[in-house]
């Protein structure tokens, strides 16, 4: 009788132990899957950002696709509890081509943008995750420029630059302003009376004086944002009295 | 004689029940659930710490620069006091990248939790890293 009880006791306590361990492992697996998914989502965004940095400074247009392929292959081999699958599609509808849009026009607006759709899935029996998401990294530049004739052909030129990351005002790492004089592009910061005002909210005011014969004064702002993405915008200054 | 044997059986049954319940109670107390809960907390803390450093790409940039001292300083600040850690950074070929130890001490505790964090650098080269962070409660 006692022997029977002892044996059943051992069996029951073993079962209890297995139940507790199994339950905790499921919780562990679920927690780690969620963290892993979040890390992959962040990483995808960084790959798109880095690729746009590369392409905006003259890198090959296929960099985005190549970098994402590498990231996908890297991620799919990492997860220890199951097989993750990360798919991506680069936006190819106008104005995007291969997920990239670089538009630096002469109307005072420039945009450097990358766009990719992702679908991440993870299934291993215990955990099931399906996460479609979109990554859109965009740096925009809006410039306005006016000039006032001071004396003869000497003009005072004021240029206002507004930098945006996605839709929000953003700081610039570097702002360079050029102006056109007799077909040559010259740096504004080498001219008389050059001042650069940083309003701290993504707005920059640049003033300088230049001897320009033409009535139409063209300026070009070249900006790197804090992520290293390059964007450029050109505009013809408006004359003010 | 029969009454005496019956009493013995009853006592035996009571003792068996007592033994059964006390063993249940003991089994629940000594089950490893509490350790695993602690492991979950450590693992979550580790992943969240790395994710917070990675949210704006800072983590990838620091690794690109090989600035291991800054990385260790950040972990010292972000991880709770009393947590020992050891971080190893691997490249895409899973070769260790950090040439110095990124740690705040020796992890000798048996209950070491290890988390793996995939990280992409927002640099033009788009480098990928795997971070293996070992965590333990310092004793």
Kind of pairing, strands A203-211 and A195-198? antiparallel
* Helical (H) or strand (E) element with A113: strand A109-123
A126 and A207, same domain (yes or no): no
Give the residue from chain A lying closest to B55, CA to CA. A42
Q: Residue A3 is encoded by which pair of tokens? A: 């022997």
Q: Are residues A46 and A72 in the same domain?
A: yes
Q: Which residues of B touch A (CB under 8 A)?
A: 9, 12, 16, 19-20, 23-24, 26-28, 31-33, 36-37, 39-40, 43-44, 47-48, 50-51, 54-55, 57, 60, 92, 115-126, 128, 130
Q: What's the pLDDT band for A31 if we cut at 50, 70, 90?
A: low
β-strand pairing of A203-211 with A100-104 = unpaired
A123 & A28 share domain: yes
Q: Do the Cβ atoms of A110 and A103 come closer than 8 Å?
A: yes
pLDDT tens digits for range B61-116: 999 999 999 999 999 999 888 888 999 999 999 999 998 999 987 676 667 888 89
* Residue B11, both tokens: 């006592």
Residue A109 falls inside a structural domain: no
Report the relative pairing of strands A128-151 and A238-239 from DSSP bridges: parallel
Any bridge partners for residue A198, and if so which? A204
Percentage with pLDDT > 70 across chain A: 85
Ranges A97-111, A124-138, B65-79: which has the least confidence: A124-138
| Mean pLDDT, residues A75-104 taken together | 89
Distance CA A147, CA A177 (A): 14
- CATH of the structural domain B33-137, one choice from 2.60.40, 1.10.3470, 3.30.1490, 3.30.450: 3.30.450
Contact A109, A141 (CB under 8 A): yes
- ipTM, two decimals: 0.77
- Token digits of residue B102: 């990124």
Share of chain A above pLDDT 90, in %: 67
Tokens coding A126: 């215990």
DSSP classification of residue A72? H
Q: Can you tell me the distance from the alpha carbon of B8 to that of A159, in angstroms, rounded to the nearest whole number?
A: 103
pLDDT for res B110: 62
């Amino acid at each position: 009788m006692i022997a029977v009880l002892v044996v059943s006791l051992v069996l029951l306590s073993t079962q209890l132990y297995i139940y507790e361990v199994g339950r905790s492992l499921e919780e562990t697996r679920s927690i780690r899957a969620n963290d892993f998914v979040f890390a992959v989502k962040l990483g995808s965004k960084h790959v798109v950002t880095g690729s746009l940095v590369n392409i905006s400074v003259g890198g090959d247009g296929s960099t985005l696709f190549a970098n994402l392929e590498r990231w996908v292959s890297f991620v799919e081999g990492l997860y220890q509890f199951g097989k993750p699958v990360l798919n991506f599609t680069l936006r190819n509808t106008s104005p995007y081509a291969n997920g990239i849009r670089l538009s630096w026009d002469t109307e005072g607006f420039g945009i450097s943008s990358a766009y990719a759709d992702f679908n991440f899935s993870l299934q291993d029996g215990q955990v099931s995750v399906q996460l479609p998401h979109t990554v859109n990294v965009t740096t925009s530049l809006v410039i306005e420029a006016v000039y006032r004739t001071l004396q003869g052909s000497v003009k005072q030129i004021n240029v206002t630059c507004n930098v945006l990351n996605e839709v929000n005002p953003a700081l610039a790492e570097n702002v360079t302003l050029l102006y056109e004089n007799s077909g040559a592009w010259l740096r504004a910061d080498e001219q008389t009376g050059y001042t650069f005002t940083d309003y701290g909210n993504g707005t920059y005011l640049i003033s300088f004086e230049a001897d320009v014969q033409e009535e139409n004064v063209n300026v070009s702002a070249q900006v790197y944002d804090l992520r290293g993405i390059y964007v450029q915008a050109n505009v013809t200054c408006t004359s003010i009295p | 004689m029969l009454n005496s044997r019956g009493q013995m059986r009853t006592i035996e049954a009571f003792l068996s029940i007592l033994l059964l319940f006390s063993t249940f109670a003991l089994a629940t107390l000594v089950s490893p659930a509490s350790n695993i809960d602690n492991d979950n907390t450590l693992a979550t803390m580790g992943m969240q710490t790395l994710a917070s450093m990675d949210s704006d790409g800072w983590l990838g940039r620091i690794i690109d620069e090989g600035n291991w001292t800054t990385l260790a300083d950040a972990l010292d600040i972000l991880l709770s006091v009393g947590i020992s850690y050891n971080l190893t950074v691997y490249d895409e070929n899973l070769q260790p990248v950090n040439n110095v130890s990124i740690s705040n001490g020796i992890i000798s505790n048996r209950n070491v939790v290890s988390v793996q964090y995939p990280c992409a650098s927002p640099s033009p080269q788009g480098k990928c890293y795997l971070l293996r962070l070992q965590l333990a409660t310092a004793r």
